[in-house]
Chains A and B, each alone.
Chain A
Amino acid sequence: MGEFIVKKDQIILGIETSCDETAAAVIKNGTEILSNVISSQIESHKRFGGVVPEIASRMHVEQITLVIEEALLQADVTYKDIDAVAVTEGPGLVGALLIGVNAAKAVAFAHGIPLVGVHHIAGHIYANRLIQEMKFPALSLVVSGGHTELILLKEHGSFKVIGETRDDAAGEAYDKVARTLNFPYPGGPHIDRLAHEGKPSINLPRAWLNGSYDFSFSGLKSSVINTLHNAEQRGETIEPADLAASFQASVIEVLVTKTLKAAEDFNVKQVMLAGGVAANKGLRAALTEAFTAVPDIELVIPPLSLCTDNAAMIGAAGSILFEKGKRSDLALNGNPGLDIENL
């Protein structure tokens, strides 16, 4: 008997509260954004010079149901349409993660909808699938305030960390350098903007760590601080724009060179940029230029709105995990040290 099966669209509700954004989104078939709602707390943390975990947790409780409601309204879906609730289970701030996780469990339980725990970085990587279908093997350069990693994907939902930072994350180095130059938190975008006004005329180190895909940025950060300090002691002035440009040049050269090398070594078909620092204009431009020279490797760079934390990416990653059969039970917990290789 030839049965005619109409495949229904797969609808995922994604929830993300790992740091300072309360976010919910609805994703269709893993690739299409039906809604993507983000409530940012950034203004509330500014006066503290960084994200305060207790305040982040308090604000997530204030926003969580509003944000989920808005995501469902904008997507115009009902609970009957939803195949799974996907939520960030880690890594992140534990008190913040707990809000999303418990809200997700309550929604899943109330309506008998399957629950899928998602790794935050897997989410950042899958933001790319909302732009361009993945081609395997694929490589992702993940750069954010907490992460600098090269992750190899042999297939959907399989993640292998081939390189990572041995000290500071790239975003962390940006924030520290920004603080040294007296920029308010978050400093990364200030450095990026300032770098475009200066010349990379100051010689700063590049940590190549030859033979490894790992990164190190703490030496560079110290070097920036020392350069400023020494100039001050000699009574010289350093043009902050030049220092920012030199710092950014060093970070980007290492990131781009290592990504290109890994992409060639592992014969990948696609390279995907991911994470908050992916919003950096200098990095986007340098990667684009480097990969123009290797046309057989496709470079995917998500738009700025999908680089910073959002729930669309969690829905996109959750879609694949759900399809692969992953289910979380009601004992799902926030896990700040969740490992991406054992999902």
Chain B
Amino acid sequence: MKVLALDTSNFILGISLIEDDKVIGEYITNLKKNHSLRVMPAIEGLLKECDTTPAELDKIVVAKGPGSYTGVRIGVTIAKTLAWTLKIPLSGISSLEALAANARFFEGYIAPLFDARRGLIFTGLYKFTNNKLETIIEDCNILSVDWAKRLKSTNESILFIGQDIALHQEAIKEVLGEQAIFAPPSLFNPRPSELALLGRDKDEEDIHQFVPNYVRMAEAEVKWLETQAKKNDL
């Protein structure tokens, strides 16, 4: 069974092709370049290198967010269109979960994070139990300092992972002290092969209905709801 996986949730562009338990090919860049322009040529290049035609694919896996709204949308649009048009199943995996998988041999809690501006982060809490990645706290959008406070009561070591940790390291350290461990840069790029393996056995999505998990409402929606709430208060 050949699985193509793609992740365009942030600046990192990741594509992989696996066949059963074997990782055949993997492509990762971490560049501030345009995903819309680069993803399809990268998929074409990797498949060609791996002597695989689109018709030979058996499943598509995509990182469904959170992350950059535009980035996630590009990946999800390509993934759902490929799966639909090739008539093969599609699975979506949390972009944070895919990043957490990099810490496979860490025994405590894993907190992958992406910066979400103004002190906020997209994050969730994960843990490997019997070599299986479990979700402890669902993906959310929270101030990094509030997140650190929330994690303090776990009394466990927490590994923070992701290339935006530098922006929040101080705030987290202040609350958690030695409880917080920070992953090295070599673990910052989510591995698209881990994404493929996570998605391989996961239930398939309803392709037409499938959308990103933005975790956050659109700004205009938030403002509109606020105005409605004010109106109701009057």
Which A residues are closer than 8 A to B by beta carbons? 47-48, 52, 54-55, 57-58, 61-62, 64-66, 68-69, 79, 95, 98-99, 101-103, 105-107, 109-111, 329-334
CA separation between A183 and B82, bound complex, in Å?
42
**Contacting pair A331 B86 (CB below 8 A):** no
**Contacting pair B73 A330 (CB below 8 A):** no
Neighbouring B residues of A65 by C-beta, 8 Å: 80-81, 84-85, 207-208
**Contacting pair A98 B73 (CB below 8 A):** yes
Sampled A-B contacts (9; CB under 8 Å): A55-B220, A61-B76, A65-B80, A65-B85, A98-B74, A102-B39, A102-B78, A102-B81, A111-B85
**Contacting pair A61 B212 (CB below 8 A):** yes
Neighbouring B residues of A61 by C-beta, 8 Å: 73, 76-77, 80, 211-212
**Contacting pair A99 B40 (CB below 8 A):** no
**Contacting pair B77 A102 (CB below 8 A):** yes
CA separation between A55 and B73, bound complex, in Å?
12
The one of A55, A79, A106, A334 in contact with B81, judged by C-beta atoms closer than 8 angstroms, is A106
**Contacting pair A110 B40 (CB below 8 A):** no
**Contacting pair A66 B208 (CB below 8 A):** yes
B230 within 8 A of A: no
Please name the residue on chain B nearest to A330 by beta carbon. B40
B224 within 8 A of A: yes
The one of A48, A55, A79, A102 in contact with B40, judged by C-beta atoms closer than 8 angstroms, is A102
Neighbouring A residues of B82 by C-beta, 8 Å: 106, 109-110
B70 within 8 A of A: yes
**Contacting pair B37 A57 (CB below 8 A):** no
Q: How far is the CB of A111 from chain B (nearest CB, A)?
A: 7
**Contacting pair B70 A57 (CB below 8 A):** yes
Q: Lowest 8 A-B CB distances belong to which pairs?
A: A106-B81, A330-B40, A52-B220, A54-B218, A103-B81, A65-B84, A105-B40, A333-B37
* Given A61-B212, A62-B211: A54 in contact with B219 (beta carbons within 8 A): yes
CA separation between A45 and B40, bound complex, in Å?
31
**Contacting pair B218 A330 (CB below 8 A):** no
Which of A48, A98, A102, A109 has the most chain B CB atoms inside 10 A of its CB? A102
CA separation between A333 and B37, bound complex, in Å?
5
* Given A98-B74, A101-B36: A106 in contact with B220 (beta carbons within 8 A): no
B43 within 8 A of A: yes
The one of A57, A105, A331 in contact with B78, judged by C-beta atoms closer than 8 angstroms, is A105
Please name the residue on chain A nearest to B42 by beta carbon. A330
**Contacting pair B36 A47 (CB below 8 A):** no
Name B80-98 residues within 8 Å CB distance of A. Answer: 80-82, 84-86
**Contacting pair A331 B37 (CB below 8 A):** yes
Please name the residue on chain B nearest to A47 by beta carbon. B224
Q: How far is the CB of A312 from chain B (nearest CB, A)?
A: 20
Neighbouring A residues of B86 by C-beta, 8 Å: 110
Neighbouring A residues of B81 by C-beta, 8 Å: 64-65, 68, 102-103, 106-107, 110
CA separation between A95 and B59, bound complex, in Å?
27
Q: How far is the CB of B116 from chain A (nearest CB, A)?
A: 15
Neighbouring A residues of B44 by C-beta, 8 Å: 109, 330
Neighbouring A residues of B208 by C-beta, 8 Å: 65-66, 69
* Given A64-B81, A65-B208: A106 in contact with B36 (beta carbons within 8 A): no
Please name the residue on chain B nearest to A100 by beta carbon. B77
**Contacting pair B78 A48 (CB below 8 A):** no
Q: Residue-by-residue, is B30-44 near A (CB-CB < 8 Å gives 1, otherwise 0)? A: 000010111111011
